[in-house]
Amino acid sequence: MAASVILASRSPRRRLLLEQLGIPFKTVDIELNEAWDGKESARAYVSRVALAKALAGWQKVKDSTSLPVLGADTVVVLDDEILGKPRDKEEALRMLAALSGRSHAVYSAVALAGPIQAVRVNVSRVSFCPLSEAERLAYWETGEGLGKAGGYAIQGRAAAFVDRIEGSYSGIVGLPLRETAQLLHLAGVLCSRRSGEDSVSHVSDERHDQ
């Protein structure tokens, strides 16, 4: 089936989520500086980065296709601070300790670039049960939290840490499907029962982001 949209992401989770909508798509690999300056609000940050990803993808493919490009970004926020991807064991354990027994926000933005440009943001809340030092260390040793925003992956073993979710599970994983469907509708792309994935140049199979 011919693709209806291009996903500017290396994330296997975002690919699987887009497949849930029954949207045939291609992927394009992009490189982007995602640094947070420590001052920008979480909403502004994820909106900017998601749109920058979509625009970077559009720049790569616009000469060969008129398909719209989707970009997405997701961050974990605790006490107004964005928790990025831990650089090492110490930072990962510190993040898990901070999240333990508390509720945090997950901001997930999806952006559309091409003939139409638009951004949608979903905000969800995740409440963790208290985590012992042994639990935090055992989770780190699985390797699952490395490269994930906030140091955890809710779709994996960290699901056992979750006491309550308010909002969009797909948004917490990395691609809010309701907002994605709204953007695709703007571009004239409707969800169907069939799905598929092709590849274009610059594709990379793996990237670990929340």
User: What secondary structure does DSSP assign to 64-117, as a single string?
Assistant: T----EEEEEEEEEETTEEE---SSHHHHHHHHHHHTTSEEEEEEEEEEESSS-
Q: Is the dihedral of CA 24, 170, 173, 123 positive or negative?
A: positive
How far apart (Å, rounded) are the C-alpha atoms in residues 171 and 190? Answer: 19
3-state secondary structure of 165: strand
Catalytic (active site) residue 73: yes
Tokens of 55: 């625009």
How far apart (Å, rounded) are the C-alpha atoms in residues 118 and 159? Answer: 32
How far apart (Å, rounded) are the C-alpha atoms in residues 196 and 25? Answer: 6
Question: Which of the following is catalytic: 37, 73, 80, 163?
Answer: 73
Q: Active-site residues: which are they?
A: 73
